[in-house]
Amino acid sequence: MPLDWPLDDMVKFSMPRCNPLLCPIYSLAAAITLSFACDAQEATKMLQQTQIKGLLVVQLDDGGYAGTASQMNATAVKKESGFEIGFNQSVGDLMIKATAEVDKFLRVRHAGKIPTKLRIEFSFADKYSPKDGPSAAVVCALMADSIISGKKIDPGFAATGDMTATGAVQPVGGVASKIKGAIRKNCTHVGIPDANKGSITDAYLLQGIKPLYQIQVFSLKNFDQASDLAALDRPESVQKALDEFTLVQKALKKNNKYIYNGKVRAKLRTIVKLTPNHLSAKLLLLHSIKKAPKKLSLVGSLTGVDQAGEKLLSMLRDGSFMKPGNLGDDVLTDLVYELSRLRPMLDKRTTGYADAFLDVANFFKRHRGRNRINAQLERELNTKARAIGIERKKLLNDPDIREELMAD
């Protein structure tokens, strides 16, 4: 009894701005001083190469997505004349266009000081899988700016985001998965587009406060904010905020109930004052005074319902619910509990989708204990199961919802 809705549709619509094989976030690992034949004074500042530990999003066999590690290099190469940046391997049109915006940004930022006879080349360690998407724009800009200015980048920093020629950071997809990848690679702090900050609120509502203190997450509106976070020699206020949050992390990892401790709360207030774009500190502070957000974003709502209903859908797809005793499976209890917990937080447009799952769960509960269901009950179940797909398609076919998903 197949259901007419592929599990990965929602993800495709929620992550249109980046190829799932690409969407990288990076942290600088090393830099080598350059002695280049540009202006003698400027040459002493420049770097020749940066080596990147990168995180990207890959699609899994079940249609889901996961963050994984990769590596990217930026190298300064002599050329006969002019200045340019680009990849030394084949990449898609979206990545080429994003890099063109970075080139324009660099020429404005370093007007009058742009190096001549220089090409900055970006490359991925994995040269064989398709590469496309604008998510590397901010990081490419950071690397190129680092090479030109000689400013070294903190190896613990990671970032993701598209960027315009004016330095404005633009939203991308897959942010939640990328942050998980950054955590697995032991990155200390990460910058995400300001327009994607709802992903952090969603993580908090779906998983509690743990994602907020596992890594320091900052929102980025422009390149300068990214640069302040990336630099080893960073502004004093930023450094103090990072140091203070490290102390908060140690306390919460020991016992997350310390979130209500007066000293912890005071430190969070200090951090937010120093760096208002510190999303982790801001949400933890709101949680500690019981003023945290209570509503999921549209994408977060769809993700929450999908995750809650995943096991039930698997049973419906493979027919395992027909096996003796499966109608009383704990899957039902878990589903009803999770959707009941989530329902007050859901974007109201998704409540019909959640209720379609609950309708199927209630069908099973009514017939708990049966070893099998007859033809009439099977037809009823088919109708209820199809309603899940119908509700989901209704959401994805709504022009306003579709536009909102594509903007995330």
How many angstroms separate the CA atoms of 7 and 26, rounded? 29
Mark whether 97 and 134 lie in a shared domain: yes
Q: Is residue 12 part of a domain?
A: no
Is there a single domain that holds both residue 310 and residue 205? no
Band (167; pLDDT cuts 50, 70, 90): very high
Q: Please tell me whether residues 275 and 317 are part of one structural domain.
A: no
pLDDT tens digits, one per residue of 19-54? 433 444 444 333 333 334 444 444 558 899 887 666
Shared domain for 104 and 224, answered yes or no, is yes
Task: Among 232, 258, 278, identify where a domain stops.
Answer: 232
Do 72 and 145 sit in the same domain of this protein? yes
Structural domain including 341 reads: 298-406
E-assigned strands of 224-286?
none
Q: Is residue 5 part of a domain?
A: no
Q: What share of the chain is helix, strand, coil (3-state, %, to 5)?
A: 55, 15, 30
Measured between alpha carbons, how far is residue 138 from residues 147, 168, 193, 335 in Å?
Answer: 14, 9, 10, 40
Residue 11 located in a structural domain: no
Q: Does residue 262 share a domain with residue 220?
A: no
pTM confidence score: 0.81
Domain membership of residue 6 (yes or no) is no
From 244, 268, 294, the end of a domain falls on: 294
d(CA 257, CA 288): 9
Tell which of 232, 250, 282 closes a domain: 232
Q: If 0-12 CB within 10 Å is exposed, 13-18 middle and 19+ buried, where does residue 310 land?
A: middle
- Lowest mean pLDDT of 9-13, 103-107, 273-277, name the range: 9-13
Would you give the distance in Å from CA 28 to the centre of its chain? 19
Q: How is residue 221 annotated by DSSP? A: S
Do 186 and 250 fall within a single domain? no
Give the per-residue SS3 of 69-85: EEEEEEEEEECCCCEEE
Q: What is the mean pLDDT of the chain?
A: 83
C-alpha 234/C-alpha 275 separation (Å) is 13
27 and 173 together in one domain: yes
Structure token digits, residue 385: 């199961």
Q: Does residue 262 sit in the same domain as residue 201? A: no
Same-domain pairing of 164 and 120: yes
Is residue 378 situated within a structural domain?
Answer: yes
- H-run or E-run covering 382: helix 375-396
Rg from Cα positions in the chain: 24
Q: What is the pLDDT of residue 93?
A: 93
Decide if 62 is inside a domain. yes
Domain count across the chain: 3
- Per-residue pLDDT tens for 348-402? 999 999 999 999 888 887 876 666 667 888 889 889 999 999 999 999 898 888 8
pLDDT in tens, 47-81: 998 876 666 776 666 555 676 657 778 999 999 99
